[in-house]
Amino acid sequence: MVFSGCGKYDDGPAISFRSSDKRIIQLWKFTQRTVNGTDITMSCVNDSVYIRNYGLYTYYSIPNGDATGVWVYENHKRGINIISSGSVEIDSGGLTAEKFYSNNITATIKKLKKSELWIEGDEVIHDSISYAGTHTVKDAKRTIIWHLEPVE
């Protein structure tokens, strides 16, 4: 028996006997992370992504603080949309600033195995910083590639 063209994801697996949920719902760590073509993997070696049941999502980041949100499949489970937000205090020269941020990731799932998750897509970031009586808002859109493996 030969299977060809059965795979839902570009980079595999060709066939799986586990549901997409059984493979994606777990705590992940980065093996590769690029933003706009620049490899930033070394700056997020302590970061992890927890894709949880019921569409819940947490991004753990040291020292940037955690972000929580929701996730949902798109395009017949070939894509994922993640919406998250968080806040962190920034201490600069004795003055404290409060940074609030939100992220919206719309990505294609390139590989989904129990041991690997690869996504590629766009991230829209909204930053709002309050500092010494001033308020600054910054929006950015960037292209991302995430390669993840389970946290042991």
Query: pLDDT averaged over consecutive 10-residue blocks of the chain (152 residues)?
Result: 56 77 96 97 94 96 86 96 91 80 96 97 93 85 98 90
- 1 domain residue, yes or no: no
Here the tokens at position 97 are 């600033």
Helix (H, G, I), strand (E, B) or coil at 128: strand
Our count of domains for the chain comes to 1
| CA quadruple 113, 27, 67, 52: dihedral, nearest 10 | 80
- Do 28 and 48 contact (CB within 8 A), yes or no? yes
Side-chain half-sphere of 99: how many Cα atoms within 13 Å?
A: 17
The answer to whether residue 10 is domain-embedded is no
Contact 137, 126 (CB under 8 A): yes
Largest CA distance in the chain: 69
Q: What pLDDT is recorded for position 14? A: 65
The pLDDT tens digits of the residues spanning 87-107 come to: 888 877 777 888 899 999 999
Domain that holds residue 41: 23-149
pLDDT at 84: 96
pLDDT, position 13: 73
The pLDDT assigned to 112 comes to 96
- Please name the residue that has the structure tokens 């946290």: 151
User: Does residue 2 fall inside a structural domain?
Assistant: no
Q: Residue 85: what pLDDT?
A: 95
Put simply, whether the predicted model's pTM sits higher than 0.95 gets the answer no
Domain presence at residue 117: yes
- Give the model's pLDDT for residue 4: 42
- Tell me whether residue 106 is in a domain: yes
| Position 9 in a domain | no
